[in-house]
Amino acid sequence: MLFRRSLSLAGVFLATACLATPEEPARSWWPQFRGPNAGGTSTTAKPPVKVGPGEGVIWKAEVPWSPSSPVIWDDRIFLTTFHEGQLETRAHERRTGRLLWARGVRPDQLEMFHQTDGSPAASTPATDGKHVVTYFGSFGLVCHDLDGKELWRRPLPVAVSGGSYGSGTSPVITGNRVLLNRDQDLHSSLLAVDLETGKTVWEAPRPDVAGGFATPIYWNNDGVDEVVIAGSVRVKGYDLLSGMERWRVDGVSGLVCPTPVIGDGMLYLASWSPGKADSSFPLDWPSFLKAFDKNGDGKVTVEDSNPVTWDFLRGIDKDRDGSITAVDLELIRTGSAKAENVLMAVRAGGHGDITGSHVAWKFARGLPYVPSPLYYDGRVYLVKDGGMMSSFDSKTGKAFYVQERLGAAGSYYASPVAADGRIYLASLPGKLSVVKAGGELPEILHQVDFGERIFATPALVEDTLYVRTQTHLYALGRDPGR
């Protein structure tokens, strides 16, 4: 596989000892999307059970709408938003919720994004306690210190990712590198830049991958530091030092939203998208025209549908000419034929195509569209739209329960998180469910309706649960030791 290097060899061949691992925490931290290594768990937090908009509220701060999640380092909370035409990185005081600073960039052009559920500030920041790195698909990477001083910016071409939905991936800090998934409809790549300067260390082209939303994760795989990224049809592992592809597993969904997780020495990925396994979506041209060509002109354009429907359909318009033709649909159909909606466990080790040799087990029901899987105490948990939860033995794939209803219907965009024997799940309509981990059925300990939509994944730090709704950021529980 070809890959591009920076001119500085010292920036490429770093000592392995310099690489941070997920076990180097601050006193209080949730440093990136979904916490340490995007795993969604805390081994030290003891968040409350019975909380909500009218119970256990330490503070409540008004924040402009965006679907990105809060991240935390000691006494700072960081998030992104789109406000008054600017793409902003914001810092709030953790003790009070008070806004400490907001730093914005004004892009020349906004990326295409979903007009009802999307935002050009959808990516969650990442921090190592000295740097706060933010990604905006309309601009690129921006790095600040904890007090809001801009350290560097790295402009990138405007993203064309996932068709109509915009960017969803978030940056990751590992040692002195920032990792970014640049999977797009064209010119996909995995980018590594220097944390101190923003300059390219390496960039690995991904020509066989279309748009996607997963965040990269770190895996020390049989003694080798790797970056793992799930993309359309396949998941791949790359050498962290060089960007060289080490292995791949084929047979995941055509459009991947969830981020993989690590546990018990294995990698777990769940992915589902409309297409091959969705009989309700027509992939043959006559049926597609019958369903969507309202004016009978032999093609599908925005004039044939309402804005919400076109937001979904325009991702099929591969040549970006404003209309969907039989050629566009054939490209989708061909790609869908290789895809598989699946939950899979991948064993460590192996090189090249390890699809047939290192997939430990698979399961094909209860699959999420957006939320990432959760590994917690020897189990893998999933939540899918409709408020249905599943639980599996992480080593064998044995199902403890599948698609059990939580009593919280609707779509799910936020990923499940866990601490102190409990799992926290937030539905898009705004209902928070607290479920006891383990068991033969999900035991619901508490449910509460926040009364407005929740897109963001909650954060767990010490005795506090942080929940971002459509218009507010909540700190729920006890005052965090102040």
As beta bridge partners, residue 447 has 433
Q: Which CATH number is associated with domain 4-273+339-477?
A: 2.130.10.10
Burial of 80 (0-12, 13-18, 19+ CB in 10 A): buried
pLDDT band per the 50, 70, 90 thresholds, residue 470: very high
Mean pLDDT across 176-203: 93
Contact 332, 275 (CB under 8 A): yes
Q: Across residues 224-236, what is the average pLDDT?
A: 94
- Alpha helices per DSSP H over 301-361: 307-313, 326-338
- pLDDT tens for 404-418 read 999 999 999 999 999
Ordered DSSP codes for 79-119: EEEEETTEEEEEEEETTT--EEEEEEE--SSPPP--TTT--
Q: Would you state the pLDDT for residue 232?
A: 86
Between 133 and 286, the higher pLDDT residue: 133
Q: Quote the CA–CA distance of 231 and 269 in Å, as a whole number.
A: 11
Could you give the CA distance from residue 296 to residue 431 in angstroms, rounded to a whole number?
42
Q: Is 333 helix (H, G, I), strand (E, B) or coil?
A: helix
Confidence of residue 115 (pLDDT cuts 50, 70, 90): low
CA distance 322 to 97: 44
Structure tokens at 460: 């767990």
Length of the chain: 482
Non-local (6+) Cβ contacts of 467 within 8 A are 426, 432, 450, 454, 456, 458, 473, 474, 476
231: exposed, middle or buried (C-beta count within 10 Å: 0-12, 13-18, 19+)? Answer: buried
How many whole angstroms separate alpha carbon 410 and alpha carbon 5?
45
Indicate the Cα dihedral angle 17, 20, 26, 31, nearest 10°. 170
Q: How confident is the model at residue 19 (pLDDT cuts 50, 70, 90)?
A: very low
Q: Is the pLDDT of residue 482 over 80?
A: no
What does R_g of the chain's alpha carbons equal in angstroms? 21
- Model confidence pLDDT, tens digit, residues 308-337: 566 556 666 666 677 787 777 766 666 666
399: left (phi over 0), alpha (psi -120 to 50) or beta: beta
- CA angle at residue 430 from 429 to 435, to 5 degrees? 115
Return the pLDDT at 137.
Answer: 86
Which residues contact residue 123 at a Cβ distance below 8 angstroms, ignoring those fewer than 6 apart?
Answer: 33, 68, 80, 134, 135, 136, 137, 167, 168, 169, 170, 171
End-to-end Cα spacing for the chain: 52
pLDDT digits (tens, 9 = 90+) for 265-303: 999 999 998 755 445 567 678 888 888 888 888 888 877
More confident residue, 385 or 168: 385
Average model confidence (pLDDT) for the chain? 87
Higher pLDDT, 67 or 13: 67
Maximum C-alpha span of the chain: 66
Residues 69 and 51: their CA atoms lie apart, in Å, by 19
Q: What is the dihedral of CA 348, 357, 380, 378, to 10 degrees?
A: -50
pLDDT at 358 over 90: yes
**Interaxial angle between packed helices 326-338 and 285-292, expressed in degrees from 0 to 180 and rounded to the nearest 10:** 120
Asked if the model's pLDDT at residue 481 lies above 50, the reply is: no
What does the pLDDT read at residue 269? 97
**Ranges in the chain annotated CATH 2.130.10.10:** 4-273+339-477
Question: pLDDT at position 164, please?
Answer: 62
Tell me what pLDDT residue 306 has.
63
Work out the pLDDT band at 7, boundaries 50, 70, 90.
very low
- The answer, yes or no, to whether residue 344 has pLDDT greater than 70, is yes
**Mean pLDDT (whole number) for 104-128:** 82
State the average pLDDT over residues 198-213: 90
Report the pLDDT value the prediction gives residue 313, as an integer from 0 to 100. 66
Query: What percent of the chain has pLDDT above 90?
Result: 67
Question: How far apart are the C-alpha atoms of 150 and 78, rounded to whole Å?
Answer: 14
pLDDT of amino acid 159? 80
Q: What is the mean pLDDT of residues 354-375?
A: 97
pLDDT at position 116: 64
Whether residue 455 has pLDDT greater than 80: yes
- Separation of alpha carbons 345 and 235, rounded Å: 11
pLDDT at 461: 95
Task: Encode pLDDT of 154-187 as tens digits.
Answer: 999 888 765 567 778 999 999 999 999 998 877 8
- Beta strands per DSSP E along 364-458: 374-376, 379-384, 388-393, 399-405, 417-419, 422-426, 431-436, 443-449
Band (pLDDT 50/70/90 cuts) for residue 197 is very high
> Which pLDDT belongs to residue 331?
63
User: Measured between alpha carbons, how far is 280 from 291 in angstroms, rounded to an integer?
Assistant: 11
pLDDT at position 162 is 52
Write down the pLDDT at residue 128. 96
- Nearest Cα to Cα of residue 424 among 60, 34, 70: 34
Single-letter residue type at 174? T
- Average pLDDT of 442-458? 97
Angstrom distance (rounded) from CA 450 to CA 429 = 9
